[in-house]
Structure 1
Amino acid sequence: MAATHIFDAPPEGVAADWTMPQNWAAFTPEQHETWRTLFDRQAVALDRYACRSFLEGLEILRRLKPGVPDFAELNALLKPASGWEVVAVPGWIPNEPFFEHLANRRFPAANFLRPPEQIAYSEEPDMFHDIFGHVPMLTDPAFSDFLVAYGQAGLRAEQLGASDFLGRLWLYTVEFGLVVEDGELRAFGGGLMSSLAETVSALTAPEPKRIWLDIERVMRTGYHFDRLQQTYFVVAGFGELLRATEETDFASVYRKIADAPALEPGDACPGDVAYEGRLPAGPADGEAAR
């Protein structure tokens, strides 16, 4: 089934910048129950696998009333803690307004929640993915500044026709990134945080490649939308991720790789430096299926 929350122009009730009223009162008891089930399941399971910044930032969501977050209540806690605010959007939005929001510390969150029959896996990023998966990381200062720098780079990439290359950096860091903490690998990407099965695979399975982050390499690498990634990129810390973003001349990288063949997600590449440090212990029998 194809994603349904994709628009070419702002639909009725959506502003020119693609924001919209959340209309929190319209969410149903069933949707609030779906949120509570998802939140309770993921928050407990990820304690073994998520990075420290995510687990600390999750406390903001714990302070909200149970059920689908009221963005006004969330922003009253988030903005003083991080400088960020969440804005409701109808789903996938075009690149330019997405980058503009990030550059101004506004995080776009889909204003719909997966139905109960998709509780284990949503076919498109929904509110749970956007809020649970990403908002806790906004409280980390270095990661927060990285997102602003990414938004600014995105606006420049739009002018250069290079947004697809930059999008790969988003996928392999903000969605599926891994970080080393206290000598052990931890997850921080929102696509991992909202999928326990992929988190466990990314951190403990023998099959995936785990490679130290190289921006040019990332920008050449394709990714999967419909199955687990075969390659994950590792950073030593969020300060390093921010520095790499600020110090890289993205325009030069775009020119260099413009005519280079894309790498398939599982390909090896000359120059890859594999992460060979400690991995977390694998799950107990049946745990990854939760």
Structure 2
Amino acid sequence: MFWAVLSTDVITVVKMRTVVKITWLSTMVIMVMMITVICSDIVLFSKMNVEYPDMTDCYLGKRSVSSEMYCGFHCQRHPNCSLFCYEDTECKLYSARVSWHYMGLGGTPQSAPCHSLWGSVTDAIRNSSVTASASFSKDFQRNFATNGFYCFEDNGYCYISSSTTQPWWVAKLGAPRKITSIRVQTRDHAEYSSKFKDVEVRVGDNTSDFTKNQLMGRYIGMALHREVITFLTSTPITGSIVSLQAMDDPGFLAFCDIQILYTA
């Protein structure tokens, strides 16, 4: 059984362990029990009422359902869904990664609001500035990894460095944050590798030499296509600088979205 709590900005989808028979007299009691006692999964879909680029490459299909709530259920149950859009009983599912800070094409609202599973309110990348090794071309600029949108296709929404000695990418967060995890979305290309290989992630406050900052984690080997790589730390690392650096000499560094998650 499922339940959902609706608001103007967030849909909370709750997956239940137990099927409960609801009667008119016990509805309110059962609602409380379902949410507080037998919850097993809570999934937050943030409302993204913006205009999107062409999402044909990440379209997963559509369903006919009676509400946004049930559309969210279908997205939750699909292994690749991270965005759904609902209008007039039509539920469309997408694999697009859309962050809370994504402003859309010119910030234009659309009639059918979508809801994203990828976004987080504790993502420090929203207010950051970025520097990096020279990009492979003008189609793969350093800020493309922080614009909050990626559609699982090599369509200009990724950062790819040129081939150079230990290419790097640095985000300046604007203020120190207690970083708990960093999630990186690798690229997807049918003909080439992910270009995310042997990468170090560091966090700290050294602005003149980011290699002196604390090592948060290493990814060894070549990442898979469309892989989401999560760097975790048991104790939050405080810093205003987050860096990714490939150790190849020469080599590439490429990724399509990044979340820098922090705690208060």
Question: Which of the two has greater helix per residue?
Answer: 1
TM-score band w.r.t. shorter chain: under 0.3
More strand by share: 2
Greater Rg by CA: 2
**TM-score computed with the length of structure 2 as normaliser:** 0.27
